[in-house]
Amino acid sequence: MMKKIALPIALILLGLILTGLSFVNYNTGSPDDIDISIEKSAFIMPAAHRVYSNPEALDGKYYLFKAKITNNSSETLQDVRVKYRIPNYIDWTELTVSGEMFPGQTLVVPCYPKFDDNVTEKTTESVEKTEIEISWNGAEDDDIIEEDFSFRFTNRNEYVYTGIKSEEISSWADMYDNDALIACFVTPNDPVVKYYTQNLQEKLLKGEAASVSRKTEDAARFLSGIYEATRRSHMVYSGTKGIPKSTDDVQSIVQQVRLPREVITGNTGLCIELSVLYASVLSAAGIDPVIFMVPGHAYPGFRMNGQYYAIEATGIGGEGLGNIMSAEEAFKQGQKQLQEFFQRAQAGDPRYTLVDIHQVNAQGVTSMDLKDNDFMREKVDDIVASWSTEQQARPNNGGNNTIIVPENRIRTSNSLSFAIPNGWQTMMNPMPQMPIMTAQVVAPDQATTVSVYDIPVSNLQQGMNSINQYFSNFGLQMQYQINGNTVSGQTYSSNGNFNWIGKALKTQNGIRIVAVGAPDHLYSKNSSIINQIYNSIR
Amino acid sequence: MKILIIPIYILLFSLNGIAQTQQKIEMRIDSVGDAELNMSMTMNAQQWQIWNSNYGNNPSALKRDIERSMPAYFLDDFELNKDDMNRSFNLKLNAYGVCEINKRGKWIIDTEQKKAQLTKLTEHKYMFVSSPPEFGGNIQQTFIIELPVDAKNITIEKDAFGKSVFEFDMSPPSSGFNVMRYAGILIFLVGGAWSGRLIFKT
């Protein structure tokens, strides 16, 4: 009997053992069960170290690496830790601790490295290694996962045009994907640049208040003052190294950009370097600087009251190059280029882009830190002394450094013209289906619009009726109020409301109406420029 | 989870200015913290024409731009469905590791929104509306976040920056059929039945 029952009892025992073992957590995960995939940056620019350290900057676009870690084991891992280091630059730093990591769960860990401020003193390029370590509770030394990769760490002057993999580049914009990072080279807080700006304001311009008055004339005078300062110190145009470099995945032109302090003290600069110098000085003076990027060239300017102005900073040329422009000529040339810039940009040419320095600053692209330097201050003193050897700057009432801000009016033989802000695009007879619309002027934001109507009727009421009829053909409805020769109202459509104000005047052939407005959600924001245009209608 | 914005470049010169565009983004979180995203949008004729020339006829450009707009995430399984007749599209994709478990063992998901006006639709479904300032108020996004059915004790907290964060508890997903356990039980039952039969027989 015992012999017969031995086998079934053995089965019972085996069943109990197997069932019991199935509850024992003997597996704490092994490196083979953890999948890791890493995406890394090919280049790191010391000038942009504050951007790399900020997960909010440009929506977190600039990271050192991001790791995707998937737990493919059947066990929950406890306290999963991810840390990294860059030998000689950053010690072991914990990126994240995940309390638990379930079977099948993925952990995505982006790394925004915080370099020391003195990284901006790095003057040579190097190839550095990043080491990553992933561990969890109960992991033996053999289980800890170690990964590493190398990247190119440029010197502080190097500006890499793109970080996009060469196989993914499909457009001009891709090749210049790092445009916003040029703002890192704009250094208004550099003590040397501040000192130069103060001297410019005091000794050359004998006072300026553009940031307080917010008058474009004052800002244009300051812009020309920078040009005058560079011209008087005999600053010259000169090239620097810009060569293609590549890593495994990324190919890019890497341009040496002399910092504004180096341009001032070295008394020479390339177009992008001069643009960065102007932007730094403008920013230090409280004016919103803009750098206009066009194929093969860059030039500086500013934005004020919704309008853009520019100057051709390389007009200084140099005695060896000949053709040194006066400040007025450089400003005229800049304005001419600006007109072409907006025409091309509004036509959709992706090669024409601008970097609004304060706007990208607000997105986390901030300037590099630079320490004060007595030797450079002395150099600035020498440069300032050279300014006085030429004619002193005169007040803004005419003279060499006086810039006449172009009035840029739509002029017709009829009355009612108005000042078109710089950078706005004018289209004559934009809608053939609506012959009463003589012209339309559109702001760079593509929303704020001035419309000019010439209607062969005898009074404003009839004119508005006529416009209303045309509008109804386009599915638009209009509500307005007439008060003397002024009219204001709203245009409704399925796409939203458009608020506007305008003036009317009788002409030989009927009524001319000029109206300026914006979509209702933008009207308050743009009210300053709208009122400015409205007040200029006469 | 960062807010997803479908990049559309609208250049309208018409009298009625720029149309305000609506996007609907549904995010369904699964039991391991990954998210399935469904984005849909209907446009007017002009916007549809521009969108098609930029993305509609070149879905790989759409994929690339979305990946670039969410650089900190790993995205996968893109699927674009266009409805040309109604000028609308639906884009589906997966985002890995959207939710994670913090040091206190709580699952967390960040809305990236300060003072998000969250509306509770069901026990596990929440909605909020956003109008990203970088698009000048031209894009209105309606987000619907669906948390896993196993999520318990759902609370909405604020992080150090005042942004709304979902916190909840969730058990590990079932490890499925455990061969060792069920084989053990089966062998135990067979052994028990066999020995019982022998005992009763005698």
pLDDT, tens only, A258-278: 999 999 999 999 999 999 999
The ipTM assigned to this model is 0.76
Which residue of chain B comes nearest to A22, CA vs CA? B181
Chain B residues touching A7 at Cβ < 8 A: 194
What percentage of chain A exceeds 90 in pLDDT? 37
Q: Residues A157-184: what's their mean pLDDT?
A: 88
Same domain as A282, residue A171 = yes
Per-residue model confidence (pLDDT) at position A470: 84
The answer to whether residue A228 scores a pLDDT higher than 80 is: yes
Interatomic CA distance for residues A448 and A273, integer angstroms: 33
Same domain as A353, residue A477 = no
Nearest to A4 among B34, B105, B198 (CB): B198
Nearest to A446 among B11, B172, B183 (CB): B11
Best residue in A1, A5, A18, A425 to probe B by mutation, most B CBs within 10 Å? A18
Residues 6+ apart with CB under 8 A from B197: none
Same domain as A504, residue A441 = yes
Which residue of chain B comes nearest to A97, CA vs CA? B103
A150, two tokens: 């190398």
> Contact at 8 Å (CB) between B36 and B27?
yes
Residues 6+ apart with CB under 8 A from A408: A419, A420, A421, A422
Per-residue model confidence (pLDDT) at position B3: 43
Per-residue model confidence (pLDDT) at position A490: 83
**Position A4 in a domain:** no
Could A519 and B185 be called an inter-chain contact, meaning their C-beta atoms sit closer than 8 Å? no
Per-residue model confidence (pLDDT) at position A29: 59
**Position A1 in a domain:** no
Q: Residues A254-261: what's their mean pLDDT?
A: 91
Same domain as A353, residue A212 = yes
Per-residue model confidence (pLDDT) at position B70: 80
Interatomic CA distance for residues A197 and A284, integer angstroms: 7
Same domain as A436, residue A377 = no
Best residue in A1, A7, A12, A16 to probe B by mutation, most B CBs within 10 Å? A12
Nearest to A11 among B31, B34, B191 (CB): B191
DSSP symbols for B74-134: -EEEEEEEEEGGGTEEEEEEEETT-SEE-TTS-EEEEEEEET---EE-SSSEEEEEE--GG
> Is pLDDT larger for residue A420 or for residue A439?
A439
Write out pLDDT tens, residues A3-58.
778 888 888 888 888 888 776 655 555 667 889 999 999 899 999 999 999 988 98
Nearest residue to A515 via CA among A406, A436, A404: A436
The answer to whether residue A410 scores a pLDDT higher than 70 is: no
3-state SS, residue A300: strand
Same domain as A304, residue A194 = yes
Report how far apart, in Å, the C-alpha atoms of B127 and of each of A41, A503, B118 are: 35, 45, 6
Q: Residues A332-344: what's their mean pLDDT?
A: 89
What percentage of chain A exceeds 70 in pLDDT? 91
> Is pLDDT larger for residue A352 or for residue B21?
A352
Could B191 and A168 be called an inter-chain contact, meaning their C-beta atoms sit closer than 8 Å? no
Could B72 and A60 be called an inter-chain contact, meaning their C-beta atoms sit closer than 8 Å? yes
Chain A residues touching B12 at Cβ < 8 A: 446
Per-residue model confidence (pLDDT) at position B9: 36
A254: left (phi over 0), alpha (psi -120 to 50) or beta: beta
DSSP symbols for A306-341: TEEEE--GGGG--TTT--PPPHHHHHHHHHHHHHHH
Same domain as A471, residue A436 = yes
**Average model confidence (pLDDT) across chain A:** 85
Domain ranges of chain B: 21-176
Which residue of chain B comes nearest to A64, CA vs CA? B72
Could B192 and A18 be called an inter-chain contact, meaning their C-beta atoms sit closer than 8 Å? no
**Position A8 in a domain:** no
The answer to whether residue A446 scores a pLDDT higher than 80 is: no
Residues 6+ apart with CB under 8 A from B6: B23, B39, B41, B62, B66, B91
Per-residue model confidence (pLDDT) at position A25: 54
Same domain as A256, residue A238 = yes
Write out pLDDT tens, residues B108-164.
988 777 777 888 999 999 998 887 766 666 678 888 999 999 999 999 888 877 888
Per-residue model confidence (pLDDT) at position A210: 84
Per-residue model confidence (pLDDT) at position A533: 82
Q: Residues A144-154: what's their mean pLDDT?
A: 92
**Position A407 in a domain:** no
> Is pLDDT larger for residue A408 or for residue A493?
A493
Per-residue model confidence (pLDDT) at position B19: 56
Q: In CATH, what number is assigned to the domain containing residue A259?
A: 3.10.620
Per-residue model confidence (pLDDT) at position B117: 80
Same domain as A301, residue A200 = yes
Chain B residues touching A79 at Cβ < 8 A: 103
Q: How many domains does chain A have?
A: 3
Q: In CATH, what number is assigned to the domain containing residue A87?
A: 2.60.40.10
In angstroms, what separates the C-alpha of A58 from chain B's closest C-alpha?
A: 9
Same domain as A332, residue A191 = yes
Same domain as A195, residue A146 = no
The answer to whether residue A402 scores a pLDDT higher than 70 is: no
Q: Which residues of chain B have pLDDT under 70?
A: 1-20, 133-138, 173-178, 202
Nearest to A446 among B12, B98, B106 (CB): B12
Which residue of chain B comes nearest to A17, CA vs CA? B184
Q: Residues A168-180: what's their mean pLDDT?
A: 85
The answer to whether residue A397 scores a pLDDT higher than 80 is: no
Nearest to B96 among A108, A446, A449 (CB): A108
Task: For CA atoms A360, A361, A363, A364, give the dihedral sign.
Answer: positive
* A353-356 vs A307-310, strand pairing mode: unpaired
Per-residue model confidence (pLDDT) at position A175: 86
- Between chain A and chain B, the number of residue pairs with CB atoms below 8 A apart is 189
CA angle A79, A81, A82 (to 5 degrees): 160
Per-residue model confidence (pLDDT) at position A445: 76
In angstroms, what separates the C-alpha of B93 from chain A's closest C-alpha?
A: 16
Helix axes B179-201, A2-22, angle to 10 degrees: 160
The answer to whether residue A170 scores a pLDDT higher than 70 is: yes
**Position A7 in a domain:** no
Nearest to B195 among A9, A449, A525 (CB): A9
Write out pLDDT tens, residues A378-394.
999 999 988 876 554 44
In angstroms, what separates the C-alpha of B140 from chain A's closest C-alpha?
A: 12
> Is pLDDT larger for residue A453 or for residue A31?
A453
Domain that residue A489 falls in: 425-536
Interatomic CA distance for residues A311 and A301, integer angstroms: 6
> Contact at 8 Å (CB) between A101 and A67?
no
**Position A37 in a domain:** yes
Best residue in B12, B65, B101 to probe A by mutation, most A CBs within 10 Å? B101
Interatomic CA distance for residues A450 and A209, integer angstroms: 30
> Is pLDDT larger for residue A409 or for residue A168?
A168
pLDDT band, very low/low/confident/very high, at A257 (cuts 50, 70, 90):
very high
Interatomic CA distance for residues A82 and A66, integer angstroms: 11
Report how far apart, in Å, the C-alpha atoms of B192 and of each of A8, A270, B178, B202 are: 7, 91, 21, 16
Nearest to A22 among B16, B71, B181 (CB): B181
Q: In CATH, what number is assigned to the domain containing residue A440?
A: 3.40.1000.10
pTM, two decimal places: 0.74
3-state SS, residue A151: strand
Same domain as A194, residue A111 = no
Task: For CA atoms B56, B61, B64, B67, give the dihedral sign.
Answer: negative
Alpha carbon dihedral B38, B44, B46, B50, in 10-degree steps, equals 0
